[in-house]
Amino acid sequence: MASIGAMPDGKRMSFDAMAGPDLDPAVYKTLLKSTKAIPWKIDWATMRFAYIGPQIEALLGWKQDSWISVEDWATRIHPDDRDYVVNFCVAQSQAGVDHEADYRALTPDGGYVWIRDVVHVERNADGGVDSLIGFMFDISERKKTEQELLQLQRDLEAMSFEDGLTRIANRRMFDNHLESEFGSAAKSGQPLSMIMLDIDHFKQFNDRYGHLQGDDCLRRVAAGLKSLATRPRDIVARYGGEEFVLLLPDTDAAAALDYARRCVAELAELQIPHESSSCGEFITASLGVGTVVPSEDMSAVGFTEQVDQMLYAAKRGGRNRIEAGS
């Protein structure tokens, strides 16, 4: 009978005992080596380890003979995982259900290793639980890959709400924030303001200076506008083309008009030449401003349309001006 190591009480356990009557011990040994699994067995009546593979020390740093009972297993689970894993495994074992659990196993130096425990419930002749036989797998690399994929997903989600050219919020993010802030304003009774800004004669700018200079112009304008929106809930977004929008929660009409004037001043300070403009030698913009305290018969879309009408009123009125609605 081939021995696979000493148990904590000094006795020996065979491959036959671990593998069971239907599995050739030689095949079992080969499986262990090829999968790098760490086998273990717990006696249900005593809740003590009947066996745990010697590889456990290389993996976790705990000596093989230190694994005496399930208490040793439980205390070596990361505190953040312990309660769930222990409760889950005990409940499944009591029900006689094979199961598996992923958790962080602690090492003596305070680190941890991601483990997957695969557990088989052995029953006695009466149908009760006799023992638990399982395998521990090191899944640290898998977890690392999962975390990297999760971070990549988060990055992609962030990018989906960011304008690729200007690196400010895009139309999608603006629409989401508008719905949220409109609902909040309706509940709180606080004013919500919006500023729409369109760069004057931008097509002529691109025609004269080229699209690369046009892109640079948009980036500089975006950065300038973003510097004005300093409160956590303020948002500056590229609404489309050369059009930008500022959403200003808890901002009344007077404050919104002041914001718009600061936008005009910010563009003037940029001093981006625009020799093809009829509005001046530098980049200018037309702005529409609106403020609302939402009521039941109003919608976020309707509010946006009102501000958009203010913007076009500014453009029809000669551009390079602010048109504000009540």
Count, in order, helices (H) and strands (E) of the chain. 11, 12
Neighbours of 93 (CB within 10 A): 19
Could you tell me if 93 and 121 are in contact, meaning their C-beta atoms sit under 8 angstroms apart? yes
Handedness of CA 88, 89, 90, 94 (dihedral sign): positive
DSSP 49-72: EEEE-THHHHHHS--GGG--BHHH
* CA–CA gap between residue 209 and residue 247 (Å, rounded): 31
Catalytic residue among 57, 122, 141, 242: 242
The residues near 253 (Cβ < 8 Å, ≥ 6 apart) are 191, 193, 289, 291, 324, 326
179 an active-site residue?
Answer: no
Q: Is 298 left (phi over 0), alpha (psi -120 to 50) or beta?
A: beta
Known catalytic residues are: 242
